[in-house]
Amino acid sequence: MSGSHFNITMFQAILPELWIFVLASLVLVLDLILPKDQHRVLGWVTSIGLILGIGVSLLVGLPPSGNPFVWGDLIRFDHLGFVFSMLFIFGAAATALFSSNLEKLGQRGDFYVLMLVSTLGMCLMAKAADVILLYLAIETTSIPLYVLAGFYKEDDKSTEAGFKYLLFGAMTSAIMLFGFSYLFGFAGTTNLYEMVNRVAQNQLSPFLVYGVLAFVLVGFAFKISAFPLHFWAPDVYTGAPTPITGFLSTASKAAGFAVLVRVLWVGFAEIQPYWVYILRSLMLAMR
């Protein structure tokens, strides 16, 4: 595991997140100082800034071949998290570009800031190696999306979409946190990689362990709208602004898959050869 002293790898591990944070702050400042008739440029600033962030990350932020654990073992800096982070950032850049020409959406600086904060949370979801950081990252991703789904306050369908997404998201987050608390009680640690080993060493009943994991998987299934937790998707996708619907159905689902892949890879390493069939079944369940 990683040490406590700062090194360049620790900076590289959170470079995309730092870039997104700075870009969100810039957009917020520009929203305050630019005239109303020039706010459409915020979409271009957001999109170009995110594309530049991808370029900088590819140049100086690639994961090293050594120890992947950084920041007190909270983050696993590997190629899985890096590739998914680039995917999230590209999805946010495309969404910002598509939104820039929409009158009620593209001229609102708070829209771009909320989307950037959600993207930051997605990047942390893909890299989290600790259940505390994972839960905080999921909430950082979800809460701005609740607001964005109901962004058209004068539209009843958009308001309904945001409210339903909030209710179902809060319910599944609570169930997932309940499962995390049990796993912590079994293992005595919140580190995802140590947790699996300690639970195995305690020789707990498989029915008990898999029952607790079912609570955790509820939250993941909601994020990717897999059966039977897909019932929220039609109403939310219909009522949310069109660019946000695209963002939810691509980047947000990819974030759920990133977490699911990491958790299954750690917790169920013995079934790695069957992963193609498992992921294919999940994708069929999402249709």
Which pLDDT score, from 0 to 100, does residue 282 have?
A: 55
Which pLDDT score, from 0 to 100, does residue 215 have?
A: 84
Pull the structure tokens for residue 175. Answer: 């169930």
Chain mean pLDDT for the chain: 83
* Predicted TM-score of the model (pTM): 0.86
Which pLDDT score, from 0 to 100, does residue 201 have?
A: 74
Domain residue extents for the chain = 8-285
Higher model confidence: residue 278 or residue 88? Answer: 88
- Segment 40-69, tens digit of pLDDT: 888 899 999 999 999 999 998 888 877 788
- Segment 177-220, tens digit of pLDDT: 888 888 888 888 888 888 877 776 777 777 777 788 788 888 88
Measure the CA–CA gap between 6 and 18, rounded to whole angstroms.
16
- The DSSP line for the chain is ---SS--HHHHHHTHHHHHHHHHHHHHHHHHHHS-GGGTTHHHHHHHHHHHHHHHHHHHH----SS--EETTTTEE-SHHHHHHHHHHHHHHHHHHHHHTT-TTTTT-HHHHHHHHHHHHHHHHHHHB-BHHHHHHHHHHHHHHHHHHHT--TT-HHHHHHHHHHHHHHHHHHHHHHHHHHHHHHHHS--BHHHHHHHHHHTT--HHHHHHHHHHHHHHHHHHTT-TTS-TTHHHHHHHS-HHHHHHIIIIIHHHHHHHHHHHHHHHTGGGGGGHHHHHHHHHHHT-
Instruction: Quickly tell me which residue has 């294919």 as its tokens.
Output: 280
- Segment 102-122, tens digit of pLDDT: 877 878 888 999 999 999 999
